[in-house]
Structure 1
Amino acid sequence: MGADREGGARRRPMRAVACAAWGILLLAGCASMPDSGDLRDVESTPRQDTEVRVFAMPPRENAPPAEIVQGFLEALTSDDPQYATARQYLTPTASRRWRPESSTTVLADGWDIEVDRATAHEDSGDYAFTLTGSKVARVDEQQSYTPLDGRYSQSVHLARDKSGQWRIDTPPQGVLMGRSDFQRNYMPVNKYYFASDTAGGTGRPATAVADPVYVRQRVDAMTRVVRSVISGPTRWLDRVVRSSFPTGTALRRDVTALAPDDQNRLTVPLNEKASRVGSERCWEMAAQVLFTVQNLTPTVETVALQRADGSTLCTLGADRARTVATRGPVKRPEYLYFLDDKRRLVRILGGTAGTSVEPVPGGLGEGLQRLSSAAVAWDERTAAGVSNDRKDLYVGSLVQGGTLGNAVLRSDGKTEDDRLTAPSWDARGDLWVADRDPARPRLVVLEQGKGRPVEVTVPGLDGRVDAVRVAADGVRVALLVQHKDGTESLLVGRIERDGRSGERTAVSVLGLRPAAPDMEDVTAMSWAGDSRLVVAGREQGGVQTMRYVQVDGSTPDVPAPAALTGVKSIAASDDERLPLVAYSEADGLVRMSSVAQWQKVVKEGAAPVYPG
């Protein structure tokens, strides 16, 4: 027999809500299940203020099976740290086996409950339901977010316990909740590790790499995120980063909660595994914690790591942390660059409201070679430009009198749209570009912007790369891909280098994952933070829009830029003090002012870029 839906229903709220105001705990919204009546559709819980605490209600005496299932599901969305109330809905054996930390599955509009008529017999002490819904995402045991789609279906079985009460003996795997409950319960946080090729002890700052995770925001988020950064990077990032914490390092056993003191200092007691590290390694460990907790609580200024005996291992302040590791660009971009009406590379001072335009020094600013796009190296001493017909890639120094020389790469594509993309520089000083020639589509990198191009291996790439942007950390790359079926998607991959294959380093982009699964026809994108991109495109079934996306495919809770028509290119910086700049066919070159409105920069201008 098939499963029949009981009452067409989703869950009914069964929660107590506590609000803190003026130091008084107020209780509101306490609810219990009705004794009778059909289950009815109820929307997922609306998003609430961060000060609102939601607590689950325990099972009612002699509650029927449907109420037990809904009560359990409601308890999963509460702020109960160890899900103690949710466990009251389970049999003792099921409670011991259930691992809520193993995963969190997010459904678009919450769940539907369908009665399994084949086993639904209250008189026999046996009852089952099927939970269904539309999958949105999954957060795994490492707290890493992965977008999902398709239907969710999971069986839940109940039996009577020794006292005759209905309890769940086969619960769903992990935690299950609707999208709005997920947004209320969880928050994105960047953990920080170091790029593998920036080893400690070299006298140069290591390069910090963001590893985004999701933590429960009102369940001691500080302690949980510190435990997470100590435990190591997520599997997706692990191959290209390192952690300075020795294997086996953890918080000291007696640590139950971490919080900064009134001097904005966070003390982190560690176990014996970390007791003998040297000062430089300890500073890197402290930098990892400091960058991570500042992403959660920006007011933290100092991190002190303690040995297991309570003595101080090392202390690191925000000023000193900058000499230990860099986060984002090594220096603040000095200029904003773009192409003028003569297709020359020009620049204006960044971070100002000025519009005084000057050609860049050297061959790219002379106008002898008209350009379609350009990129400026992070040190702003070298730039690359693609010719106006997109056939040739040139590299030149940004010094007065510098010559352009011959093209370093040529495409044989028959049309402009089948030739070279805009280039992008990584933090190592290597230059990336994609050739869209249908006869030989490829992604290439030129070491230090010169020499023979190295073709980048991209396993699993279904189509050609239409745009490439390398992150400031040099470890991750965003690719706009046109698939063979004609669709487009924005993907993020990790950059892996292998120098053992001979004289030249082999370069690969692995682990491709969608960064904007809800968008199609993406027309422009740019990195806009440690783990964030700004994209312009059309949402599925919608109109053109511009918004921010996380590299893990989630959507950050930040306001989207104001609407702009016909966006062809975007320039954003990891430095939040610099304005967002865009080129649109309707408005020309514009930038986002401090009042969140687009303002025209110059009458004629296109292809804006910050260094990178």
Structure 2
Amino acid sequence: MNPRSPRNRTGLARTTAVALATGLMISGCASIPRSGPVHQVEPPAATATEETMPAVAGPEDGMSPEEVVQGFLAAGQGQDDDYAVARQYLTSELAGTWRPYARTVVFSGAAGIQQGLEEDQVRVSVDARAMIDSNGTMQRQEAGSSEGMDVDLVQVDGQWRISEVPDGVLVPASNLDDLYQPYNLYFLADDGQTVVPDPRWFPDRPGVSTSLVRALLNGPASYLEGSVETAFPEDTALEGASVPVQDGTATVSLDVPNNSAVDVASNREMYSQLTLTLLALGDVSQVDLLAGGGQMDLGAGDEATLSADSIEVPSRQIGLDGDQLVFQQGGQSSPDGDLADTLSGQDPSHPAMNIDTDGFAALVDGDSAMVTFTTTSTEPAERVTGEGLSAPSVDTQGWAWTGSDDGQVSAADLSQPEEDAVNVDAAWLNGREVSSLKISRDGTRALLVVTDGDSAQVLISGIERDDDGAPQSLNEPYLVDTGQGAGMKSQAVWISESQFVASALTDRSAVPRLYDVSGRYRDLPVVEDGVSNLAGGNGESEIFVESDGRLRMLTGESWSPQSDSVTSTAFAG
């Protein structure tokens, strides 16, 4: 198999148990904020401290089966010595085979623990908020999701011990940030030059370097399959049991099938993916890459050829002053040259542009049609019609995207105004309202806000394209945030490859929220008069809202007025 193909680049115990059986909301699983006070949710510390780590204790004599299970669940928060305390609650046979890292169930509320039909059986039920698999991929769950498991026990020397339990641990959501840390793996966009972050959650403990490399070798998360590539050939594996880190150097020894000593370009790409992934660890400052027991040939010069730096967009925005197209920058606006009157009389809204600022899209006729035009072909061409179309997004490959109230996603090639837009396959969206759709600047992912009845979800989906770059489908998505809402529209915009901003669109007070792709977030200052539009440029210094007819920019803890006349602004993308 070609390694560059899309697939392959491709007492105490009892009280502790009761305390740990209660959890709060997981960060990133709350509703899209509409109102309320500013509330900062800080990212978890790089290393959990003794003060934040839950206390765990082994079994006491005379525990009932339910108390043994409670103690085992509590001890599942103690990762020291490969969950040595938790294994004390297991029979000696099971203690040697139980795999705590196979799966993590993140739950809220209290764990329900009931005796089964037999004295030696216990049933555990939880309100599941997320699942983390052995590769660190988190799957957040729909509100109301539950997870149950049956636990069998036997008496050993007169004391109850667990003889059968599923692999994995249960973690209260309130403890997640103390026990786990999100890390980005890095894969490659189709151009082979841009890297794409793939967030994973792993226990914050020694040896996480090994978990990261194994996950990287196993390829991207399912929502990115076919959207990103990997330089590692299929069946590449670690030589040895770990990735040791000593004096700041992580030594990665690989078994690479059919490794070519002279394929320096592929070697450097593999090295880049590993380096970008591992340098996020506080104890790693460099990576030593071996294959077949020897140094992998990386050629001369800078060994890491790829960078995780964000793709920057122009600092000026496209917007509307009445029906006139204008550029907005530095608190000033100017007509968009020969294109200023292109949409006059067509009831335009939500103009968008490409990164070269020479290709454009906009909604017209009350959001019922999307038109496209360029600096060389200024006559607007109607490309998509539908009900309640979302604000267009123009990707780096020259395609203008929009979604509709019935879940149809469409994309039009700006360079081919006479051609019909393509319908992008996304069966999972059928019948759901696409409130917002923005394509990442690397062209690999769609950021969507989707409403279904009274609920709203923030999703990221990988884009599959044909060999010419034409969009074909959106993968089953990664759920970043979900919650209960009032059915109002919401919007989300990228500010880098790994961060975005989202808010409800409402004339009441609103609290936009700044996310990273792992789902962690921080509430931004309240916008008292509501939000009717969001725009995001290069990082936190270029976040704008439209509120009560005014364009405002985030400056520290306030929103500074920028214009009283320019509306519907958007940065390139």
Q: Is the shorter-chain TM-score for this pair beyond 0.5, marking a shared fold?
A: yes
Relative to structure 1, the CA distance from residue 169 to residue 576 in structure 2 (aligned partners, 3 Å threshold; closer, same or farther) is same
Q: SS of the counterpart of 1:73?
A: helix
Q: Is the 8 A contact 1:494 1:509 kept in 2?
A: yes
Q: Is the 8 A contact 1:304 1:315 kept in 2?
A: no
Relative to structure 1, the CA distance from residue 522 to residue 105 in structure 2 (aligned partners, 3 Å threshold; closer, same or farther) is farther
Q: SS of the counterpart of 1:206?
A: coil
Other-structure match for 1:156: 151
Q: SS of the counterpart of 2:500?
A: strand
Output the CA distance in 2 between the equivalents of 1:486 and 1:468.
19
Other-structure match for 1:456: 424
1:290 paired with 2:275, answer: yes
- The one of 316, 329, 334 aligned to 2:314: 334
Other-structure match for 1:378: 355
Quote the offset at 1:260 in angstroms.
Answer: 6.4
Q: Is the 8 A contact 1:536 1:546 kept in 2?
A: yes
Relative to structure 1, the CA distance from residue 396 to residue 407 in structure 2 (aligned partners, 3 Å threshold; closer, same or farther) is closer
Structure 2 counterpart of 1:146, one-letter code: Q
1:409 paired with 2:389, answer: no
Structure 2 counterpart of 1:100, one-letter code: P
Q: Is the 8 A contact 1:189 1:295 kept in 2?
A: yes
1:271 paired with 2:250, answer: no
Output the CA distance in 2 between the equivalents of 1:606 and 1:151.
44
Matches within 5 A, 1:405-444: 405-409=379-383, 411=385, 418-436=387-405, 442-444=408-410
Output the CA distance in 1 between the equivalents of 2:16 and 2:80.
28
Other-structure match for 1:104: 104
Q: SS of the counterpart of 2:217?
A: helix
Q: Is the 8 A contact 1:305 1:315 kept in 2?
A: no
- Cα RMSD between the aligned structures? 3.5
Q: SS of the counterpart of 1:433?
A: strand
Q: SS of the counterpart of 2:542?
A: coil
Quote the offset at 1:61 in angstroms.
Answer: 4.8
Quote the offset at 1:179 in angstroms.
Answer: 0.5
Relative to structure 1, the CA distance from residue 591 to residue 160 in structure 2 (aligned partners, 3 Å threshold; closer, same or farther) is same
**Which segment drifts farther, 387-396 or 211-220?**
387-396
Output the CA distance in 1 between the equivalents of 2:286 and 2:98.
38
Q: Is the 8 A contact 2:17 2:70 kept in 1?
A: no
Quote the offset at 1:142 in angstroms.
Answer: 2.1
Output the CA distance in 2 between the equivalents of 1:111 and 1:305.
45
Relative to structure 1, the CA distance from residue 403 to residue 310 in structure 2 (aligned partners, 3 Å threshold; closer, same or farther) is closer
Q: SS of the counterpart of 1:313?
A: coil
Choose 1 or 2 for highest CA Rg: 1
Relative to structure 1, the CA distance from residue 366 to residue 289 in structure 2 (aligned partners, 3 Å threshold; closer, same or farther) is same
Q: Is the 8 A contact 2:435 2:489 kept in 1?
A: no
State the percentage of identical aligned residues: 24
1:167 paired with 2:131, answer: no
Structure 1 counterpart of 2:483, one-letter code: D
Output the CA distance in 2 between the equivalents of 1:356 and 1:532.
27
Matches within 5 A, 1:142-291: 142-148=135-141, 149-161=144-156, 163-195=157-189, 197-198=190-191, 205-253=192-240, 255-258=242-245, 261=248, 266-271=250-255, 273=257, 276=260, 278-291=263-276
Output the CA distance in 2 between the equivalents of 1:407 and 1:56.
66
Offset from partner CA, 1:176-210 (integer Å, 9 cap, x none): 12101222111222211113x33xxxxxx523222
Matches within 5 A, 1:528-539: 528-537=495-504
Quote the offset at 1:225 in angstroms.
Answer: 1.6
Relative to structure 1, the CA distance from residue 471 to residue 296 in structure 2 (aligned partners, 3 Å threshold; closer, same or farther) is farther
Quote the offset at 1:259 in angstroms.
Answer: 5.6
Quote the offset at 1:424 in angstroms.
Answer: 0.7
Structure 1 unaligned blocks of 5 or more: 1-30, 121-126, 199-204
- The one of 465, 469, 476 aligned to 1:511: 476
Output the CA distance in 1 between the equivalents of 2:242 and 2:497.
30
Q: Is the 8 A contact 2:16 2:74 kept in 1?
A: no
Other-structure match for 2:295: 311
Quote the offset at 1:40 in angstroms.
Answer: 5.9
Q: SS of the counterpart of 1:242?
A: coil
Structure 2 unaligned blocks of 5 or more: 1-10, 25-41
Q: SS of the counterpart of 1:283?
A: helix
- The one of 471, 491, 512 aligned to 1:546: 512
Q: Is the 8 A contact 1:206 1:326 kept in 2?
A: no
**Which segment drifts farther, 92-101 or 560-569?**
92-101
Offset from partner CA, 1:405-445 (integer Å, 9 cap, x none): 1423253x6xxxx3543211122221112355x7xx73221
Matches within 5 A, 1:11-26: none
Bigger relative CO (Cα 8 Å, ≥ 6 apart): 2
Q: Is the 8 A contact 1:109 1:133 kept in 2?
A: yes
Output the CA distance in 1 between the equivalents of 2:178 and 2:72.
18
Other-structure match for 1:356: 332
Other-structure match for 2:28: none
Q: Is the 8 A contact 1:568 1:583 kept in 2?
A: yes
Relative to structure 1, the CA distance from residue 104 to residue 422 in structure 2 (aligned partners, 3 Å threshold; closer, same or farther) is same
Other-structure match for 1:606: 567
Other-structure match for 1:75: 75
Output the CA distance in 2 between the equivalents of 1:82 and 1:560.
36
Relative to structure 1, the CA distance from residue 273 to residue 59 in structure 2 (aligned partners, 3 Å threshold; closer, same or farther) is farther
Q: SS of the counterpart of 1:157?
A: strand
Structure 2 counterpart of 1:102, one-letter code: A
Relative to structure 1, the CA distance from residue 227 to residue 346 in structure 2 (aligned partners, 3 Å threshold; closer, same or farther) is same
Relative to structure 1, the CA distance from residue 272 to residue 133 in structure 2 (aligned partners, 3 Å threshold; closer, same or farther) is closer
Q: Is the 8 A contact 1:431 1:449 kept in 2?
A: no
Q: Is the 8 A contact 1:478 1:493 kept in 2?
A: yes
Structure 2 counterpart of 1:208, one-letter code: V
Q: Is the 8 A contact 1:426 1:470 kept in 2?
A: yes
Quote the offset at 1:316 in angstroms.
Answer: 9.7
Structure 2 counterpart of 1:393, one-letter code: M
Relative to structure 1, the CA distance from residue 128 to residue 596 in structure 2 (aligned partners, 3 Å threshold; closer, same or farther) is same
Output the CA distance in 1 between the equivalents of 2:514 and 2:353.
23
Q: Is the 8 A contact 2:426 2:474 kept in 1?
A: yes
Relative to structure 1, the CA distance from residue 426 to residue 182 in structure 2 (aligned partners, 3 Å threshold; closer, same or farther) is same
Q: Is the 8 A contact 1:304 1:314 kept in 2?
A: no
Q: Is the 8 A contact 1:114 1:130 kept in 2?
A: yes
Q: Is the 8 A contact 2:103 2:168 kept in 1?
A: yes
Relative to structure 1, the CA distance from residue 79 to residue 360 in structure 2 (aligned partners, 3 Å threshold; closer, same or farther) is farther
Structure 1 counterpart of 2:147, one-letter code: Y
Other-structure match for 1:119: 118
Output the CA distance in 2 between the equivalents of 1:271 and 1:309.
9
Output the CA distance in 2 between the equivalents of 1:555 and 1:281.
32
Output the CA distance in 2 between the equivalents of 1:328 and 1:182.
28
Offset from partner CA, 1:47-95 (integer Å, 9 cap, x none): 9964414464333455443442222112211132522321221113323
Structure 1 counterpart of 2:200, one-letter code: V
Quote the offset at 1:145 in angstroms.
Answer: 0.9
Other-structure match for 1:524: 491
- The one of 561, 567, 573 aligned to 2:531: 567
Output the CA distance in 1 between the equivalents of 2:542 and 2:180.
29
TM-score in terms of structure 2 length: 0.81
Q: SS of the counterpart of 1:362?
A: helix
Output the CA distance in 2 between the equivalents of 1:152 and 1:596.
40
Output the CA distance in 2 between the equivalents of 1:444 and 1:410.
7
